[in-house]
Amino acid sequence: MPSICLFFQVHQPRRLRRYTVFDIDQRHDYENEALNREVLHKVSDKCYLPASDRIVRLLRKYEGDFRVAFSLTGTLIEQLESERPDVLESFQRMNETGCVEWLNGTYDHSLASLYSPAEFREQVQRHHAKIDGLFGQKAVTFCNTEMIYNNDIARAVGEMGYQVILTEGADRILPGGDPWISCRAASHPGLAVLLRHYRLSDDISFRFSATDWFEYPLTAKKYAGHLSQNGEAVEVINLFMDYETFGEHHWSETGIFDFLWELPGEILKYPDFRFATPAQIIPDPSASPLLDVEETVSWADSERDVTAWTGNGMQRDALRCLFQMEDRVKQSGDDGFLKVWRMLQTSDHFYYMCTKRFADGDVHRYFNPWGSPYDAYISYMNILDDFDRTLHK
């Protein structure tokens, strides 16, 4: 029986204020608090609350036949705790149904898995404790920042005790040429790997409201029909996307909430399908292929690699300077310094410095609060300069 695994990533960064050379040694507040509140309230009202209301009602309606998985980053949770506790309450209502799996990741949605194994482990442990405290679940499934994955990361995640990891079903890594099967990590065979079906996922997350798309308008009935046409060999269809797909990337006027409401019922009309969360799709080790990924993949951009955050000299320079501070920050014993340093790790800061063009460039510009990647880099490096000086003092 093929499983439908529906997973949502929920994340909002702490965006940085414009910080000039004249601010260095003069002020040490780095966040654009007004913009952070504005975006959080907008996305909460347009996406989080209306989407969560529908999902809670769907979970109750189908009484276990509909299931979903979520990953909430620590940066988002902290903002919700201080500004929008009603949104956190909506997630807790989901949790009460017993049909939601809460995943772990890096607390600060950082690139630590690429730069510091020790920091990576610490952030994962902090996130594990936070999710357990909020929802009473000790997570067994892991989703790294932006689904970044390679053999070394899989080994580290497996050694931390996780049973499942999610990543992108990039064509170049697919065993057998398709994402329909669950795999095991070559570097840690006890770790199951679920591969995102990016074409079917992106039909919803990117193309749903594209009026020039040949499938427009996409209805839940049509989409469920597409899923059913994939043959008997299908073991699992992993549909992974940003939660902001609903109401933010595609506004309510597009019909995206109606699509969400109707989708479980249309899928369940096919008796061979069932909804399952990642922890329910752990494969038989004796029958699952090994996934060997030396070259790092992610779910970002058409390349599905890490060039969205490390593709140019500005990004690499900023990351090098940031992680060079790790020993001094931790040896300071100052929790305030550690919190700021980790806030500066959030991957979005480096995403804003990306200089890609064409289709991927359009996506980057949509999410970028800065006038240009160069503005983002200059301001970030000024902040790092001030933080470094403050740390020395």
Residues assigned a catalytic role: 146
Is residue 182 within 8 Å of residue 236, measured between CB atoms? Answer: yes
For the stretch 347-352, contacts whose Cβ atoms lie closer than 8 Å and that sit 24 or more positions apart, written own/partner, are: 347/13, 347/109, 347/110, 347/111, 347/145, 347/146, 347/309, 348/13, 348/15, 348/109, 349/13, 349/16, 349/318, 349/376, 349/380, 350/111, 350/309, 350/310, 350/315, 350/318, 350/319, 351/308, 351/309, 352/376
Q: How far apart are the two ends of the chain, measured CA to CA in Å?
A: 62
- At 167, which helix (H) or strand (E)? strand 164-168
Closest CA to 351 of 321, 306, 317, 383: 306
> What's the half-sphere exposure (Cβ side, CA atoms, 13 Å) at 46?
18
Rg, C-alpha atoms of the chain? 21
Distance (Å, rounded) from C-alpha 151 to C-alpha 184? 11
Closest CA to 120 of 92, 150, 86, 90: 150
